[in-house]
């Protein structure tokens, strides 16, 4: 049984252990591959972000954030980012985080959710978001500089809540 709670400073070491290999890989997030721990913490926990952890028996399995995707007149659309720890891959954590984050976003008053840069080669993520109701509303050709593959396309994915 996976539970969710707002992230706090005590979760950071476990969360950083998850984020670090993801950023270093340079295959899914646009942040610098050599991002420092402080920069990563600021990105993942800084205001006006809200960040969360997915827990099982007190162990952090995954983490995500919710933030407004635009200022005032676009602030009813949120943006989220999700990372599942390597040890927890394949357990459905990503899907549960996606579903729970949508409910939480509604609770926070958001009307829609937008992912701005879903890397097209991350097929598992694309399929997962589609199963959770997201549509590919746009293709950004060569918009992501994949560390191994070079310039690849990215998708804008969107869902009204």
| Token pair for 18 | 């998850």
Closest approach of Cβ 138 to its own copies, in Å? Answer: 2
The least distance separating its own copies from the CB of residue 19, rounded to whole angstroms, comes to 14
C-beta atoms surrounding 114 within 10 Å:
18
**Half-sphere CA count of 105, side-chain side, radius 13 A:** 28
CB of 144 to its own copies, least distance (A): 6
Task: Choose the binding region for its own copies from 1-9, 59-67, 74-82, 91-99 (rule: CB under 8 A).
Answer: 74-82
Site for its own copies in 12-51 (CB under 8 A): 26, 29-33
Per-residue b or e along 17-28, where b marks 16 or more CB atoms closer than 10 Å to that residue's CB:
ebbeebbeebbb
Tell me whether residue 25 or residue 59 sits nearer to its own copies (CB atom).
25
Tell me the window of 7-15, 46-54, 92-100, 135-143 that interacts with its own copies (CB under 8 A): 135-143
> What's the chain's Rg over C-alpha atoms?
15
Taking CB under 8 A as the criterion, the residue among 17, 70, 106, 131 binding its own copies is 70
Of 29 and 52, nearer to its own copies (C-beta) is: 29
Cα–Cα distance measured from residue 141 to residue 149, given in angstroms and rounded to the nearest whole number: 14
Which residue in the set 9, 38, 57, 160 belongs to the binding site for its own copies (CB under 8 A)? 160
Taking the complex as a whole, the smallest distance from the CB of residue 156 to its own copies amounts, in Å, to 5
By CB under 8 A, name the binding residues for its own copies.
26, 29-33, 70-77, 111-112, 114, 116-117, 137-147, 151, 154, 156, 158, 160
């Amino acid at each position: 049984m996976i539970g969710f709670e707002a992230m706090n400073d005590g979760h950071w070491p476990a969360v950083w252990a998850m984020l670090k290999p993801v950023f270093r890989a340079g295959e899914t997030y646009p942040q610098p591959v050599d991002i420092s721990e402080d920069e990563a913490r600021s990105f993942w926990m800084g205001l006006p972000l809200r960040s969360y952890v997915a827990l099982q028996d007190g162990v952090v399995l995954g983490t995500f954030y919710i933030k407004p995707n635009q200022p005032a007149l676009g602030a009813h659309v949120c943006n989220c980012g999700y990372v599942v720890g390597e040890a927890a891959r394949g357990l459905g954590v990503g899907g549960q985080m996606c579903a729970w984050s949508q409910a939480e976003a509604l609770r926070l008053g958001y009307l829609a959710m937008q992912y701005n840069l879903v890397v097209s080669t991350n097929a598992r993520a694309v399929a997962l978001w589609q199963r959770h109701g997201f549509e590919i509303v746009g293709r950004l050709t060569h918009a992501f500089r994949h560390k191994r593959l070079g310039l690849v396309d990215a998708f804008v994915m969107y869902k009204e809540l």
